[in-house]
Amino acid sequence: MLDVLYKTAANVLPSLKADITVTKQDSCIRNWPNFVKVVEVGPRDGLQNEPKNVPTNVKVDLINRLVDAGVRDVETTSFVSAKWVPQMGDNKEVMRSLQKVPDVNYVALVPNVKGLESAEAVQTETIALFLAASESFSKKNTNCSIDESMERASAVLERARKAGIRVRGYVSCVCGCPYEGKIDPQKVAQISKFLYDEGCYEISLGDTIGVGTPGTIAAVLAEVTKLVPAEKIALHCHNTYGQALPNILIGLQMGVRVFDSSVGGLGGCPYAQGASGNVATEDLVYMLHGMGIQTGIDLNKIVNTAHFICSAIGKDPQSNVTRALPRV
């Protein structure tokens, strides 16, 4: 089986035909799902840490290209303080400029009720709340303790419920914290359960600084799935130590069916110095299609989108697949 894949790859590289999709029957592994949801976080997580100002029209173009490539869940921007994250200061303009496609879930990150009010003002239908499993990271990132962040989250969730806005939840630092080091998986599980009980439709577990390994991810998932069903969990893996894809494989094995990624592998958190971007969408899609798992995403188009945004911001793609494939 692997011989066939390698030969196929050798025949098509470096043309843009390397989407080595295998059928379910071809796949030597039988217990994978048929479909996995990919949540594209590039326009928010990918660009929030960029030193250069990215023009609003480039952000909007990026989102439209991602949607055209088949992405159906995309994090567009964040309604946080522009004093804290100036890169997202054009949040309302971005949301207003989108020509929304009906079956696409456009998600905006929100830290508090003020952020929700701004999101509502531009007809945002889905928001993402973010909490941390580390006390120090919570303070650095949102200027409040974990308990205070839970109070803020409850207020946001109550208002969102009344307004009919869907809420996704994040837990950051699930494998480690840039300030505290190791994080107890039970703490991650408690916060995940809080978000689940409060009505988040999905809980994304963030390996914010990309220190997780298949071993630590398995330990975290083992604890979290005691309190939250695996089908409600997403994994958000940064790739600092090159462990994102193996971690995702462990997630798949443990029943996770939703994975966050960032086109071109861009990203990082302004309050987690040294952390690199998320797993690149094109690397994730390449792996999943190669396992016979569908994503609805066109690999060629996503690679072109990675080339587009990387050249717009003057960066090399942090993705093996995009480095391997030329732009057409």
Q: How far apart are alpha carbons 194 and 200 in whole angstroms?
A: 9
Closer to ligand HMG by Cβ: residue 74 or 293: 74
Please say if 269 is a catalytic residue: yes
294: which 2 tokens?
A: 């569908």
Least distance in angstroms from the C-beta of 326 to ligand HMG: 30
299: which 2 tokens?
A: 């690999």
Least distance in angstroms from the C-beta of 6 to ligand HMG: 34
Please identify the residue of the shown chain whose CB is closest to the bound ligand HMG: 206
Closer to ligand HMG by Cβ: residue 19 or 283: 283
Least distance in angstroms from the C-beta of 216 to ligand HMG: 14
- Active-site annotation holder among 173, 200, 269, 310: 269
Cα distances (angstroms) measured from residue 286 to each of 62, 247, 292, 297 = 20, 15, 10, 10
203: which 2 tokens?
A: 């809980």
Least distance in angstroms from the C-beta of 156 to ligand HMG: 10
Cα distances (angstroms) measured from residue 241 to each of 59, 95, 303, 308, 323 = 28, 33, 22, 25, 18
Is 31 exposed, middle or buried, given 0-12, 13-18 or 19+ CB atoms closer than 10 A? exposed
**Footprint of ligand HMG (CB under 6 A):** 45, 48, 78-81, 84-85, 111-112, 114-115, 118, 130, 141-143, 170, 172, 206, 208, 236, 269-271
Closer to ligand HMG by Cβ: residue 208 or 318: 208
Closer to ligand HMG by Cβ: residue 124 or 304: 124
64: which 2 tokens?
A: 């439209």
Contact between residue 213 and residue 244 where contact means Cβ atoms under 8 Å apart: no
Closer to ligand HMG by Cβ: residue 74 or 299: 74
Torsion from C-alpha of 29, 33, 34, 39, nearest 10 degrees: -120
Least distance in angstroms from the C-beta of 41 to ligand HMG: 7
Closest CA to 208 of 242, 233, 171: 171
Active site residues: 269
